[in-house]
Amino acid sequence: MDNRKKLYGVVPPMITPFTEGGELDIPGLEALVDYLASEVDGLFICGSYGSGPLMSVEERKIVAETTLRRAAGKIPVVVHTGAASSRDAAELSAHAASRGAAAVSAVGPYYYHHNADGVLAFYRAMLAAVPRGFPVYVYHNPRFSGYEIDLGAMKKLADEGARGVKDATFDIMKFALYQRELGETGFDVVLGTESMWLSARALGAEAYIPGLANAFPEICVAMHRQGMAGDFEACRRTQFAVNRLRDVMYLARSTQLAVYAMLEIRGILKAFPRSPFLPASGAEKARIAEALAALGVLQGGGA
């Protein structure tokens, strides 16, 4: 985070490596943190790509502690602390703040569909669990929480101390609304995808959270820097290249699974997702590798 206390740059939602048997792969996690820490501006852990909802509270604490220790002094780490219950979200948030996280963020409480009062109670529990002024971000992802958080509730949270929002609606009009109604007051509006960075930058974005940057951080960083420099022609070309890479991610059964495959194909890390996710099949990996080779992005490999 910069001196304005906002997120800046490329902050990938880091995957969590597991063993083939489904246990946490701590050496793999350390290797991935080491790789990304020299490539990007921050990390967002234990979120959707990071399989946070598939882990126990204690496992999530282990991932947070390992990542924070490994990234210390290199890049800031945002810990996703969303859960189905306010108690778990508050516990995870307090833990992350105490271990040196730069911020915490949480998707709205999931499984049940909550009204605005319930959503406000959830985030208030998080705010109460961390030191006053510690950055708490709303993670707005209606596809995963199952409901929209309306603008009125977002404004109340901003008034009560929330620092910003990770907008994963994939709706540029929603992003523009947040920037217009909240961004002008200092509320940090962060883009939750690489797919429309160019448009979001034109609206004032300074940070984005790209799943693709797990395996291809260099192109995501280049696109960010082009946007920040106002070189929108170059940024447009890179945005199209990034979106072609996103097309490749859909050759697996989910974009999360594609990232595991891409990391292996690039020689960065071989790891497994946690069940009920299944690793990409040999045929899927072959299709992904062929598509990446056709795009000319495999030269250089990984660490």
Q: What is the pLDDT along the chain (303 residues), one digit of tens a residue?
A: 543 589 999 999 999 999 999 999 999 999 999 999 999 999 999 999 999 999 999 999 999 999 999 999 999 999 999 999 999 999 999 999 999 999 999 999 999 999 999 999 999 999 999 999 999 999 999 999 999 999 999 999 999 999 999 999 999 999 999 999 999 999 999 999 999 999 999 999 999 999 999 999 999 999 999 999 999 999 999 999 999 999 999 999 999 999 999 999 999 999 999 999 999 999 999 999 999 999 999 975 443
Longest Cα–Cα distance in the chain? 51
**Contact indicator for 14, 49 with CB cutoff of 8 Å:** yes
Report which secondary-structure segment, H or E, holds 267.
Answer: none
- Closest Cα partner for 42 from 13, 75, 16, 70? 75
Q: Which of 139, 178, 208, 260 is catalytic?
A: 139
Q: Which of 49, 166, 208, 260 is catalytic?
A: 166
123 catalytic residue (yes or no)? no
**Type of residue at 293:** A
**Contact indicator for 280, 259 with CB cutoff of 8 Å:** no
Residues 248 and 245: their CA atoms lie apart, in Å, by 5
Residue 130 backbone dihedrals phi, psi, to 5 degrees: -115, 160
The architecture that CATH gives domain 9-228 is: Alpha-Beta Barrel (3.20)
Q: What SS3 state is found at 297?
A: coil
Cα 189–chain centre separation = 14
Rg (CA), the chain: 18
166 catalytic residue (yes or no)? yes
Tell me the torsion sign for CA atoms 40, 234, 208, 301: negative
Q: What is the pTM of this model?
A: 0.96
